[in-house]
Structure 1
Amino acid sequence: MRVRTALVGTTALILSAALAAPAVAATGTRSTGGHAGTRTAIDAAVAAGVPGVTATARDTHGTWSATAGVGDTGTGTPRSAADRYRVGSITKTFVSTVLLQLEAEGRLSLDDKVDRWLPGVVRGHGHDGRGITVRQLLNHTSGIYDYTSDAGFARDHFARDGFFEHRYDTLTPHDLLAVALRHEPDFAPGASWNYSNTNYVVAGMVIEKVTGHSYATEIRRRVLRPLHLTATSLPGTEVTVPRPGSRAYSKLAETDTGPTYDVTTLNPSMASSAGEMISNSADLDRFYSALLGGKLLPPRQLKEMKTTVKIDGVPNVRYGLGLMDTKLTCGVHVWGHTGGIHGSVSAAATTPDGRHSLAFNFNGDWTGDTGAVIEGEFC
């Protein structure tokens, strides 16, 4: 999921020095590799106004972690390398992985029409699941309207007054889909590309229909347990973030000025299978390393996941199936995803062989440059 201030891509947010949080020096452990560029970018994010940053990189030299800034602006408590945080749209890679595993097992095809699994569910104002494939859900070429772009939904869940009134509401996937279906599609299926959280809400519903279990159950069974991702969870309607963790901060406005609010607790059902997950940097490194290293998908399915489509206006990023291919300024390609949800901006990036990974989190959603951190690590 993305909040209205978070962008899909490698440079996530507008720059600002709106919040001056006291910085804590970055601290590294257990690696002989160089991470000076990453340290510099992390410190720059805090100087630009991000309250705090936590990051972990994993490569052939070992594991390196760094923190800067604070996890709590009231107490000055620093961020921890072990912090758990809301990962937003990084959830999409997990959902896509499950669907590709189901394809490998012969239980569905990516070319199945959505209506085969959810008959009559995706219908309204020109939307028609009979013409949309599962693949088009996963690579955002379905044309289904993004429910988070609905003005009423945005007012109730992203703007200050609406958020404080509705932050603990429980919303079902059908509720979220109903918001999208009030609008016309963005385009005919396959005709273009547009990032839509609704695609992954529907994808989660397909998983449940195929398996008889929720997408959360399937992610736990197929990914979290085999990889021992003990810091990663699917909270459902649980409003808190497990410890250790930091506070999360937002302006709750489309601006980088004005008051800053603590938005740590919320009901993540508003994100559902588009962005509800919680993790930490070490777990995300392990997940993406395993995925790109071929430990979660057979070669055919991994190739499908890495088959990308163009994103208009973003020449250095292409989108696969819940996975982005980003070409950095130094020519290096990294695979991964970004994620934004109230007060939390995260990114994970991994080299094509899965041998060098980085994951990190900003606990403020209105400032900072995620792209600079990724460039710092891989270039």
Structure 2
Amino acid sequence: MQKEFIDFIQQHSFETGITGASFTIQCPTYHNGKEITYNAGHQSKNGKPVTNKSLYQIGSLSKSFLVVVVLQLEEEGLLNLEDKVAQFFPHDFKKWQDISIKKLLNMTSKIPSFTDGNDSDVILELIADPILNYSSQDILNLVKDKELNNLNWEYSNTNYVLAGKIIEKVTGNKLSTEIQSRILIPLHLKSTYYIKSIPKIDIMFHDLENLMSGYFYELEGSEKKFNGLDIINLSMSRLKAAGSLISNSSDINFFIRTLFESKNFLSRKQQKKLITMIDQATGDELKSTSIPENSLAYGLGIEAKHHPKFKTLVYGHTGGTFGFQSAMWYIPDKKLSYYFALNTSHEEAYNKLELLVEEYIVQRFF
């Protein structure tokens, strides 16, 4: 796999901007049950080689972390998934008053996503002010007066920014503090960081040398003048609860395994809620064990599907920022977890890396 990984970087670096990638896999029947990580390339165009410690922006994988906080708060009786927005913000978000926390988390709220639009416009804004500091309220104000959509299910990053604001209202703490105390410290995820603005400011000094650069590529429309831009020194404040974490491959692999295997991290009751799935096509609730083969499903910050190559159910999430893409998956039948990440937003690079990873897994486990 190491050779294939290196070949992949060399073949696609020019047209996709990729300089580095990582892939971690763990299964009880493989490598004595220990995780193994393959790395290739460099952390930037002129940087040091990628290692197991290299840090990637993980984008929407962050949503699974937020959901853990919500489920723990519900277990403690501090909120309920059926609580409505009106209970927390009775004088704001008038169009969202009757929407429950559950509908925010499973993407059935009908609230438009604040990220719908031209990415180049946002990049231009960030270039003008690299240390831009959006608040959650700033982001929610972008869409709070828009009409709700008429779709039974639609992915919306706004949902998770609002859910993060509810967490802060309930606890009196910053979301970053709750994630730190409830997840990062208990699981010893020492290389996972909630980024408030500039990555270099919010990560520990000893991890600075592990920070990956990420390269922006606009694939749609005619505006491509920012292609190849390194976004590492641009603010991540616009992502907030929807995608503000940076981590390494080992931490994410351990997190996804803990999410599905630990009896202490989430109670069985809360684990069941985590994977109570919504059919993305119809908005209908599905039993987690009876997801139709051609359906994509979404629970609480967790996706599910019958993998066409593995021919079994997989759970996880994908993520992307302006310069990174990643995915984490767990296969219950095999107790197999895997994670991969790369430092470009170019979709073709992601698709080809995903294909390479899946072929590797099929050959060894199916």
Give the TM-score normalised by the residue count of structure 1: 0.80
1:171 aligns with 2:134: yes
- The CA distance in 2 between the partners of 1:180 and 1:173, in whole Å, is 12
- Give the 3-state SS of the residue equivalent to 1:180 in structure 2: coil
Aligned 1:68-217 pairs, distance under 5 A:
68-75=40-47, 77-123=48-94, 127-129=95-97, 131-150=98-117, 154-158=119-123, 161-187=124-150, 192-217=152-177
1:347 aligns with 2:327: yes
- The CA distance in 2 between the partners of 1:359 and 1:147, in whole Å, is 27
**1:155: how far off?**
4.9
1:261 aligns with 2:232: no
- The CA distance in 1 between the partners of 2:219 and 2:4, in whole Å, is 28
**1:374: how far off?**
5.0
- Residue 218 of structure 1 is matched in structure 2 by 178
- Residue 338 of structure 1 is matched in structure 2 by 318
Please list every run of 5 or more consecutive structure 2 residues that lacks an aligned counterpart in the other structure: 283-292
Which letter does structure 1 place at the counterpart of 2:184? L
Please list every run of 5 or more consecutive structure 1 residues that lacks an aligned counterpart in the other structure: 1-25, 28-38
**1:355: how far off?**
3.3
- Residue 231 of structure 1 is matched in structure 2 by 191
Describe the shift of the 1:248–1:219 C-alpha distance in structure 2 as closer, same or farther (beyond 3 A): same
The percentage of aligned residue pairs carrying the same residue is 30
**1:315: how far off?**
3.6
**1:120: how far off?**
2.7
- Give the 3-state SS of the residue equivalent to 1:243 in structure 2: helix
1:360 pairs, out of 340, 354, 357, with: 340
**1:134: how far off?**
0.4
Which letter does structure 2 place at the counterpart of 1:300? K
Describe the shift of the 1:186–1:90 C-alpha distance in structure 2 as closer, same or farther (beyond 3 A): same
Contact kept in structure 1, 2:126 and 2:132, CA below 8 Å: no
Q: Which moved more, 1:289-298 or 1:354-363?
A: 354-363
Higher relative contact order (CA 8 A, sep 6+): 1
Aligned 1:299-338 pairs, distance under 5 A:
299-312=268-281, 315-329=294-308, 330-338=310-318
Q: Which moved more, 1:56-65 or 1:334-343?
A: 56-65
- The CA distance in 2 between the partners of 1:180 and 1:103, in whole Å, is 27
Q: Which moved more, 1:56-65 or 1:251-260?
A: 251-260
- Residue 290 of structure 2 is matched in structure 1 by none
- The CA distance in 2 between the partners of 1:312 and 1:46, in whole Å, is 38
1:47 aligns with 2:11: yes
1:275 pairs, out of 243, 249, 260, with: 243
1:245 pairs, out of 205, 211, 218, with: 211
Contact kept in structure 1, 2:5 and 2:38, CA below 8 Å: no
Describe the shift of the 1:283–1:117 C-alpha distance in structure 2 as closer, same or farther (beyond 3 A): same
Contact kept in structure 2, 1:86 and 1:277, CA below 8 Å: yes
Which letter does structure 1 place at the counterpart of 2:177? T
What is the aligned-residue RMSD (CA, Å)? 2.4
Which letter does structure 1 place at the counterpart of 2:116? S
Structure with bigger helix share is 2
1:147-202 residue CA offsets vs partner (Å, 9 max, x unmatched): 11156xx45414xx334114321000000000012421123xxx611110000000
